[in-house]
């Protein structure tokens, strides 16, 4: 009799556990397909013609799901922001089989390959880190001019201490970003420029001014996406992600910080510059696969940022820039 009672109780417990398991699985499935909020398109100004355009985002649905769905956010915390995931995917782009992705990618994003040095690539990263022909990105030779360090879309802030970041209420935390409180003080009320490189962009970065350079400082961190779709939900990404920076000492522009920020699926940042004195426009390094960002910090009163960049930023829009073109000058 006792044995039968225990057996009945065990069966009830088992059925209860089964119901709970089914309920949890059902909730997980429901949350996975949880309706995603509609997203404002990413719009930017084309600097060449002044037109407002809409960006085509690589992996848009994946990004929206990661940053706006409860299961997606859990996946982001558990996996997507981790180095191992970005490393695995980045390494996959080094595999010869990844070369088959190149042509569809070129066609999908209408990439101008006429300016590339090479047209045959061993793998996707080989294509992604392609060099450009000499002369297609002329460097403004004026020593009183600072140039864009990369192709991309730029946000510009004349006074960082007064500037809201992507999301209202968030400000760019220079101290956390640099991980050096004393150095951060140097940029109090200084200027900030953020150049975002999307996957279709040319992914080598160059010095914005000439000068003596410091060794690169590496700061370990996460691998969140730097796409505006992600930044709308998590503006502090810039001081959470892996980053590297060097100081450039220039007689006109003072001590300029140039930082490279990693992102989801960026295999690595490769620093190709080996000297201690750089020439404006000289290559500093390149990003392997993924979207990424270059950040420039100028001391107070050391740069007058171009008015069109400031105006577009004040309206909440990025502006396209090409490596080597003027972004600011001596005040």
List, by residue number, the catalytic residues.
151, 206, 292
| Whole-number Å distance between alpha carbons of 186 and 328 | 19
Element (H or E) spanning 7, and its range?
helix 2-32
CA distances, 25 to each of 14, 18, 71, 190 (Å):
16, 11, 12, 51
Number of Cβ within 10 Å of residue 184's Cβ equals 18
Place of tokens 């290559």: 283
Give backbone dihedrals phi and psi of 102, rounded to 5 degrees, phi first. Answer: -65, -55
Residue among 193, 259, 192 nearest 221 (CA): 259
Place of tokens 């009799």: 1
Residue among 209, 46, 48, 213 nearest 140 (CA): 209
What DSSP state is assigned to residue 241? Answer: B
How many helical (H) and strand (E) elements, i.e. helices and strands, does the chain have? Answer: 10, 17
């Amino acid at each position: 009799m006792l044995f039968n009672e225990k057996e009945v109780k065990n069966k009830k417990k088992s059925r209860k556990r089964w119901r709970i398991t089914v309920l949890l699985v059902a909730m997980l499935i429901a949350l996975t397909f949880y309706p995603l909020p509609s997203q404002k398109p990413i719009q930017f100004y084309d600097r060449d013609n002044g037109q407002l355009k809409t960006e085509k985002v690589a992996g848009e649905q994946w990004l929206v799901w990661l940053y706006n769905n409860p299961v997606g956010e859990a996946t982001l915390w558990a996996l997507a922001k981790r180095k191992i995931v970005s490393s695995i995917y980045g390494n996959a782009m080094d595999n010869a089989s990844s070369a088959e992705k190149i042509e569809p990618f070129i066609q999908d994003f209408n990439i101008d390959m006429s300016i590339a040095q090479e047209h045959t690539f061993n793998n996707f990263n080989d294509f992604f880190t392609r060099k450009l022909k000499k002369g297609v990105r002329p460097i403004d030779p004026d020593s009183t001019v600072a140039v864009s360090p990369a192709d991309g879309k730029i946000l510009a802030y004349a006074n960082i201490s007064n500037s809201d970041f992507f999301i209202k209420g968030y400000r760019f935390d220079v101290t956390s970003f640099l991980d050096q409180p004393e150095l951060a003080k140097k940029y109090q009320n200084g200027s900030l420029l953020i150049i975002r490189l999307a996957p279709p962009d040319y992914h080598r970065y160059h010095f914005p001014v000439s000068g003596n350079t410091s060794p690169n400082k590496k700061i370990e961190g996460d691998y969140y996406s730097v796409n505006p779709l992600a930044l709308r939900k998590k503006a502090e990404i810039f001081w959470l992600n892996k980053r590297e920076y060097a100081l450039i000492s220039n007689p006109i522009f003072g001590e300029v910080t140039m930082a490279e920020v990693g992102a989801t699926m960026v295999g690595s940042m490769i620093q190709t510059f080996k000297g201690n004195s750089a020439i404006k426009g000289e290559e500093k390094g390149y990003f392997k696969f993924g979207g990424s960002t270059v950040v420039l910090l100028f001391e107070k009163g050391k740069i007058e940022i171009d008015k069109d960049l400031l105006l577009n930023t004040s309206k909440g829009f990025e502006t396209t820039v090409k490596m080597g073109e003027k972004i600011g000058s001596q005040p």
